Structure 1
Amino acid sequence: MLKRFLSYYEPQMGLFVADTVCALVLAAIDLAFPIILRNLTGGLFTQGQAAIMQALGMIAVGLVLMYAVRCACRYFVSYWGHVMGARMESKMREDLFDQYERFSFAYFDRNSSGDMMSRVVNDLFDICEAAHHVPEWIIICGIEIIGSFVILFTIAPVLALAMAVVTAAFAVVMFWQNMRMREVFSDNRKKISGINAQLQDSLAGMRVVKSFANEETERAKFRASNDRYLLSKENMYHAMGVYTATYGLLSGVLYVIVVLLGGWLVAQGQLQAVDMATFALYISLFCTPLETLVNSAETYQKAIAGFKRMDEVLS
């Protein structure tokens, strides 16, 4: 299945490479600002009014250029990255429809048209976002998280190690939760497919239903299917809530470590107060990518579940 999914990147390889380069630039710029601020606070900004005023012009030009490049990269990632994902999604729909046309009549006798429509429309809906964002998130978030810890280890190894251990422990828990969420999202896809199948059958046979005054029976069938989908959605949001709460606990624990352990290191003369502020800035920097990954879990899991159902047909 993975090999088939990756094959859809081949026609878009030029856009994918450009999108990857822009993602790398974005991550590098985001990592650079806290260390620039730390160096200015501990260096230039301690040298007096004349030196500061003389250098502010060059600093302003450098920062404007840096964030102009960041703005251009963000535009490219947001626009052309989504175009790449939309093209892949469109090609997947074409391949799925072509496969349907190759099947014999027996296949259509065994499978409802509602389920087949769901595989073409609903199941591929999130693949556009996932095909574009997942590689981008892996690059940007990976570089920002790893880069942040590398920089923090150069400032205060003890404090950075404590934060790294806590982050690693939470990452294991969140990964385990992520694996369980895959089953929930897969079940959700099956339930919406069931609604489509029930709806298609009811609407296609509406003349017969009305002729025999059988509306209440059809309502009961649809409500039963709809209730199963609602229960699946509730289970899905419960899993997401636990996942999100775990992330919130992680950021809170990290801030507590910076204040308590960092304060102890300052009292021992092993850390400067300005470095504590730098640690706090980097917590925001690498917790934001973690939050992005948490928020992307729904789209990612839905895309996997949807592509798996498409792959069943293509196989």
Structure 2
Amino acid sequence: MDDKKYSTSELIRRFLPYFKPYRKTLYFDLFCAFLTTVCEIVLPMIIRKITNTAIEDVTLLTVRMVLSLALLYFVLRIIDTFANYYMSNTGHVMGAKIETDMRSSAYSHLQKLSETYFNNTKVGQIMGRITSDLFDITEFSHHCPEEFFIAAVKITVSFIILSRINLALTVMVFAFVPIMTVVCRAINKKMRAAFKRQRYLIGELNASIEDTLLGQRVVKAFANEEMEIGKFEVGNKDFLNIKKHCYNLMGLFNTSTRVFDGLMYLTVILGGGLFLVYRKILPGDMVAYVMYVSTLIATIRRIIEFAEQFQRGMTGIERFLEIMDADIDIFDEPGAKDIVSPKGNIVFDNVSFEYPDDHNKVLKNLNLSIKSGEKIAIVGPSGGGKTTLCNLIPRFYDATSGKITIDGEDIRKITLKSLRQNIGIVQQDVYIFSGTIFENIAYGKIGATLDEVKEAAKKAGADEFIKELKDGYNTYVGERGVKLSGGQKQRISIARVFLKNPPIIILDEATSALDNESEYEVAKSLGALAKGRTTLTIAHRLSSIKNSDRILVLTNDGISEEGTHDTLMAKKGIYYNFYMRANEIKV
């Protein structure tokens, strides 16, 4: 959970730019709000006019006067009807567009964040921030300026008119407003904290549900359904408790406002009654006064009722900003250029790396030169930095010190897009998107034709099994490719890279999770993929890298051994021991 605190003024200041594209709509919406307010303000004046005229001299109250006042009010109500329709329709659409823009901004920003952010943030929390947390923005962005504008007009006009009727009584009534404001503000502060906690807990609940559903096979395999239900119930009850706390604060909030409502009405009854007794106010003025006070109290109550929506909106904006303020660690340096037709010469020049979140040092002063088209295999103990070394090339992380070059160009001087477009990656944990086989392979090249996809599948050895499926390339693979075997998913991922056709290939334990038959088929595909390309292979199954041009043994001390398979076996060092253990040969 992010502990950064934002003040209300800062949240509003950061939110205001999203109104800019729709400012004309906003201005007209506020104008319509003004028109609806005029209708409410004029009514007590009409009643006052009729009442005072009748009391002063009933003969002065003519049919013409009544009809004229009625016509005026009728015209105002027609205007009010159209103005209210615009506010309810176009005003809400404006709010929905702002919500959409904010969600797009958040999603675009997420695409720029580094692995570190996603390693430390639950997907359920991220999902909550860009979906449900922004739902209230539609209402907030529409009603916030509208409600406060209407309230400002009504309170100001009411105060002026009421002061002209009876200044003393007006001062007595309005004396409660600042007290009410202080009390409401104190409760509002607690409500905002409670709403933020509520949003956090629903994010945790979503994350828990997602984790369990995605791992449902493991849950069932270990017969841990009851344990998972128990964990869910804990989170579910925590969410219930925070909602109960929110409703408790809302009840306290509404009760306090009703107390002030009653005190204001009591002041009008007592003060106004006494002023009538002593002839300090006319009956018609008293009627108008009561109506204006009712309007004033209704306005204050409306603002107070809106306070819940306001706090929800503030919470949504706050959690939105926590995404937008997450640092972009990996970005294009000033003056970065696209790399054109790279050959694939890679050099690590005195490279050191430590993870930015836990400062775990993985690589230290590493030097390595890889020639274009060379096939490099990297082996070593877990935690030695094999995957980290490969992750530095496409800049999933940036080296802490030193530099990495491709064809002599520092990769930080190459645009991220062109750098990654020229690198193909096949991982052990293949990610298959929910959709068809065609869509998953075509992900390697936007706009690829069916013929291009089929050609890539043939090269990857995937075309044969795809054609045997009922719907062929249009077969729906399910979420995360659950309808495919491990070998099938792996070959689809290889086809995806074939379609991309990059000069540099990274194979990160691409066959270690497969059975022997699948490994053999995938290994053939990988061999075809690596042909003519600079290839880095991370492997635990050492038999798959015997034909590499060079094998690197990477340990916590750096590159401890280097050479061909035969050279390293003859050396009888670390690699020799790895290979012998892997093949279960006793010496």
Could you state the TM-score of these two structures normalised by the residue count of structure 2?
0.52
In the alignment, is the contact (CA less than 8 A) between 2:51 and 2:283 conserved in 1? no
Deviation readout 1:255-288 (Å, 9 max, x if unpaired): 1111112111122221223322222111210111
* Matches for 1:80-229 after TM superposition, within 5 Å: 80-229=90-239
Distance across 2 between alignment mates of 1:5 and 1:51: 53
State which of 19, 26, 39 in structure 1 corresponds to 2:36.
26
When structure 1 is superposed on structure 2, of 260-269 and 154-163 the one drifting more is 260-269
Residues 59-113 of structure 1: CA distance to partner in whole angstroms, max 9, x if unpaired? 2322211110111111111111101000000011111111111122332222221
Aligned partner of residue 217 in structure 1, secondary structure:
helix
Structure-2 separation of matches of 1:278 and 1:39: 9
**Cα deviation digits, residues 98-134 of structure 1 (max 9, x gap):** 1111122332222221111111111101011000100
Number of equivalenced pairs: 315
Contact 2:49 2:284 in 1 (8 A): no
Structure-2 separation of matches of 1:131 and 1:176: 23
Q: Give distance in 2, aligned partners of 1:301 and 1:260.
A: 36
Q: Which of 312, 315, 319 does residue 309 from structure 1 map onto?
A: 319
Q: Which has the higher strand share?
A: 2
Aligned to 1:241, which of 246, 251, 261?
251
How far apart, CA to CA, are the structure 2 residues paired with 1:21 and 1:177?
32
Would the aligned equivalents of 2:43 and 2:73 in 1 still touch at CA under 8 Å? Answer: no
Computing the radius of gyration over CA atoms, which structure comes out larger, 1 or 2? 2
Match of 2:279 in 1: 269
- The answer for the alignment partner of 1:254 in structure 2 is 264
Query: 1:13: which partner in 2?
Result: 23
Q: Identity over aligned residues, as a percent?
A: 30
2:89 alignment counterpart: 79
Is the 8 Å Cα contact of residues 27 and 143 (structure 1) preserved in structure 2? Answer: yes
CA distance in 2, matches of 1:211, 1:153: 77
- Aligned mates of 1:295, 1:285 — CA distance in 2: 15
Which amino acid counterpart does residue 182 of structure 1 have in structure 2?
R
| Deviation digits for residues 195-227 of structure 1 (CA, Å, limit 9, x no counterpart) | 111111111111100110001111111111111
Does the CA contact (< 8 Å) of 2:123 and 2:207 recur in 1?
yes
In 2: Cα distance, 1:58 partner to 1:274 partner: 19
Normalising by the residue count of structure 1, what TM-score does the alignment of the two structures yield? 0.95
- The aligned amino acid for 1:183 is A
**Does 179-188 or 211-220 show the bigger shift?**
179-188
Taking the aligned partners of 1:266 and 1:50, their CA distance within structure 2 comes to 23
What is the alpha-carbon distance in structure 2 between the residues aligned to residue 37 and residue 50 of structure 1? 15
Gaps of 5+ in 2: 1-10, 326-587
The CA deviation string for residues 113-165 of structure 1, in whole angstroms up to 9 with x for no partner, is 11111111111010110001000001001211221121111001111111011
SS at match of 2:223: coil
Q: Judge conservation of contact 2:257–2:301 (CA < 8 Å) in 1.
A: yes
Structure 1 unmatched ranges of 5 or more: none
Which whole-Å CA distance do the structure 1 matches of 2:65 and 2:175 have between them? 40
CA contact (8 A) 2:95 2:141 kept: yes
Give 2:562's aligned residue.
Answer: none
Q: Is residue 2:73 matched to residue 1:52?
A: no
1:3 matched to 2:24: no
Q: CA separation in 2, counterparts of 1:58 and 1:47?
A: 18
Residue 64 of structure 1 corresponds to which residue in structure 2?
A: 74
More moved, 22-31 vs 215-224:
22-31
**Does the 8 Å CA contact 1:97/1:120 hold for their aligned counterparts?**
yes
Partners of 1:57 and 1:149 in 2: CA distance: 29
Please report how far the alpha carbon of residue 54 of structure 1 lies from its aligned counterpart in structure 2 after TM superposition.
2.7
**Aligned AA for 1:100?**
L
The one-letter code sitting in structure 1 at the alignment partner of 2:111 is E
Structure 1 Cα separation of the partners of residues 178 and 51 of structure 2 = 31
Tell me the distance in 2 between the aligned counterparts of 1:147 and 1:246. Answer: 25
* More displaced stretch, 237-246 vs 253-262: 253-262
1:143-193 Cα offsets, whole Å, 9 max, x none, are 112211211110011111110112322222112222221111111111111
How far apart, CA to CA, are the structure 1 residues paired with 2:105 and 2:185? 32
In the other structure, the counterpart of 2:385 is: none
Contact preservation (8 Å) 1:258, 1:276: no
- Structure 1 residue 44 displacement after superposition: 6.1
Q: Distance in 2 between matches of 1:243 and 1:281?
A: 25
- Larger relative helix fraction: 1
Distance 1:107 1:27, change over 3 A: same
User: Following superposition, which runs of at least 4 residues in structure 1 exceed 6 angstroms of deviation?
Assistant: none
Q: Is residue 84–residue 132 contact of structure 1 (8 Å, CA) maintained in 2? A: yes
Aligned amino acid, residue 168 of structure 1: P
Indicate conservation of the 8 Å contact 2:54/2:60, yes or no.
no
CA distance in 2, matches of 1:123, 1:3: 19
The CA distance in 2 between the partners of 1:74 and 1:45, in whole Å, is 35
